[in-house]
Each structure stands twice: as C-alpha cells, then as structure tokens.
Amino acid sequence: MAVAELTSPAASFAHNYNNAHRLRSSQLYVPSSSCLSSDHFRAIYRSRVLPRITCSVNQVQNSAPVQVETPKDKAECYGVFCLTYDLKAEEETKTWKKLINIAVSGAAGMISNHLLFKLASGEVFGPDQPIALRLLGSERSIQALEGVAMELEDSLFPLLREVNIGIDAYEVFQDAEWALLIGAKPRGPGIERADLLDINGQIFAEQGKALNAVASPNVKVMVVGNPCNTNALICLKNAPKIPAKNFHALTRLDENRAKCQLALKAGVFYDKVSNVTIWGNHSTTQVPDFLNAKIDGMPVKEVIKDDKWLEHEFTEKVQKRGGALIQKWGRSSAASTAVSIVDAIKSLVTPTPEGDWFSSGVYTSGNPYGIAEDIVFSMPCRSKGDGDYELVKEIQFDDYLRSRIAKTEAELLAEKRCVAHLTGEGIAYCDLPEDTMLPGEM
C-alpha cells in the first residue's frame, strides 16, 4: 500500500534511461480507510517510513529505511515524464489549457492498451489539452504497467506531460479529474452472477472510498468494469463527497452496436442514424430503443417497416453482440470498447448536436420517465460540453418499450438488493433472474 521513493529523475536518467520513478508496494500496514477520515489517512500516508529503492528494468535493490516526504502536489512519475518542465515557461505551450489528471484502473489490460494512446494523442480532450495519466494496476500487473508506460514514452506524445503508475488507488487517484474504472474480474466458469457482483463490487467500493478521499471533488467517473451499472452504484455510494450525477456506467458500446445494425438494415452509412437510446442495464435485458431513433432525420419505423425484425432480430443482435464477437474472435471486445469510452467522454466535453442525444448509465434520482429511483440506469442524455449532462424529456413510449424497460429495471433492482452490504443499505440477499447475463457471457 505504501509508495517507495526512488532515485532522483535527473540522476536516474544520466545513469540509465530506465532508472526512473515507479510506484512500488511495501509491507507497511495502514488501517483500513473505512476506519479513518480522509485527513487522518493522508496524515498517516505522508508521515510513514518508506524503503529507498533503486530501480532498473532488471533489478531492485533495497537499502536502509529512510524518512521520506511525499511530494506535495503529485505522486512519483515514470521515466522521462519525471523530467516534465514547467509548462508555463514553454513558448510552444502558451495556448494550451491547464493540465488535467486522468486516472485509469485496469491500465495494463487490453481495453486500456487501445484507450491510453487515444487519450495521449489529443483525440479525446483536444489538441490543446495537456494531460497527466495516473495508471492503476495490481501486484501481478506492475511489470506490464511499466511496459505500457515505456510505450507511452516511446510514442512522443507532446500533450502527455506526466505518467504515474501504481497499485494503490489512494496514491494513483490523487487529484484525479477523470477516473476511468476499467479493471474488474471477468466472469469465468462456475462463477455465479451473484458472486461476480460481490467480487467486483468490493473492488468498486474500495475505489469509491479512494476517490472520495483524494480525487478532485468534481471528478467525473466512468465505470466500465462489469457489471458496470451496479458497480457504478456501489462506487457512488462509497463516495458521498462526489456528486452522484458525476458517475456513469458505460453503455455507449451498446448504442454504437445498435446504430450499426440499424444502418445495415436501412442500407445507409451509420452517420445517418441518430437519437438512439439504450435503456437500462448493460446486460441481455438492455433495451435498444428503435421507437425514438431516427435514420436521416426520419423515425426508424418509417424507414424500416418491419416490426418483427425490430422487436426480435435487431434487439437480440444488440443484446448478444458481445457473445457473437467472442465466438468469432476468441476474446471479448477491447478496441471497440475503447472507442466507445472515447465517444462517451467526448459526448460530455463537446456540445450535443442539436436535436440529438446519447446513452449513458446514470443515477436515476429525479428522472422524468418513472423509472425506480436510486439505481444506475442507461437513459438518453444531452450535454453542453462542460462535462455535465441533462436527461432528455421529449421521449415517446409505447407498451412494447415500457414492458421491456420494466424488465431491465427489475433486474437492476435485484442486483441492488444483492449488493446492499456494499452500499451501506443493510444485509444483502440475492433473487436474481436465472437468465441474467452480461453481453458476451455464454
């Protein structure tokens, strides 16, 4: 849980290009953060005694423990990023915006391997937005995380000013303004859905506590690790200082898949498809909404006059697209998931086109659709480009759409009961439907 001070950036760079700052865990015991206030936790964290470590790619040497002062503003950085100059003093950066901190969990995984380079390139936040990446891994993945940092070094992204890596969320999430929570345990053979909810729920409860303690008070949180809706609920319940509205569960990939299928059926390119909503859970109960969707500005049902296809084949293709991809590819989607994370962030930091909207799993408090309060439910959103959003009010409903929404709502309420012990709402009990599955589960 502790972080070790390494040799200074300048000396490390002179001695060996790879002798750079890296976060490492030690055996120092710190009481659980659930028992401490954030100020108390920080006091312990900043005053602890840490081992001095000299790092290279191939070896780690320990010397006698020394008293270390934690840097005031940021965690230790990686490699060449430790030589970051003062942006204010650089002539070429005078038009750049203020640097922002982006934390990513599961940063050594396949999704992150696609996502991080999009973030660093300026594709997501723009060509004038410098960023600092804070990458969270595990003890097993720390070497892979170093490899990711090395690739980011070698890519020479001018906007990427800092890279910090570590295995302690309280260190990595420090001052994060965006937190992209990707890391989660996949559902394997013999793991019941209730067990998966508990295993991953504990991860997101702890990450919620860490965000609450050390992240920016207005941090925007995107939960990708599954089951993402309920993981987002657990996370926000453990981060009471952060507005619940700031938490999102990723359903943008489902929206993108729905647009693809509608475009194929209508014989148009997918940029003609708009106003697509994914309602509810990121599971096989999700509801791709064709009633309100449009193709080239016309209602889908006026373009595709095949209700049977829309209600059955289209809906099931979107719900089960992840499983179909696994059968072909042999593994779950990574690149398209990374693209959908980019799309989801861009929808929050750029104004929504007039008359259109996007899907995101958000907290249901005060929603205008009659959906149960206090769950995370995918709904249609609009943004002014300031990182915030509002729910779309001009939505049509029919009996088919409402019946499907009720089914996915019931599933999310059941999941909520299953994780009550992680949200501070009492003793958990699970009465999940037998057929509840994530896209891609077989």
CA distance 17 to 80: 8
- How far, in Å, are 194, 282, 285 from residue 431 at the CA level? 9, 18, 16
Strand-strand pairing, 277-279 and 100-105: unpaired
**Active site (catalytic) residues:** 282
Q: Which residue has the tokens 């028992």?
A: 35
Which three-class secondary structure string do you get for the chain?
Answer: CCCCEECCHHHHHHHCCCCCCCCCCCCCCCCCHHHCCHHHHHHHHHHCEECEEEECCCCEEECCCEECCCCCCCCCCCHHHHHCCCHHHCHHHCCCCCCEEEEEECCCCHHHHHHHHHHHHCCCCCCCCCEEEEEECCCCCHHHHHHHHHHHHHCCCCCEEEEEEECCHHHHCCCCCEEEECCCCCCCCCCCHHHHHHHHHHHHHHHHHHHHHHCCCCCEEEECCCCHHHHHHHHHHCCCCCCHHHEEECCHHHHHHHHHHHHHHHCCCHHHEECCEEEECCCCCCEEECCCCEECCEEHHHHCCCHHHHHHHHHHHHHCHHHHHHHHHCCCCCHHHHHHHHHHHHHHHCCCCCCCCEEEEEECCCCCCCCCCCCEEEEEEECCCCCCCEECCCCCCCHHHHHHHHHHHHHHHHHHHHCHHHHCCCCCCCCCCCCCCCCCCC
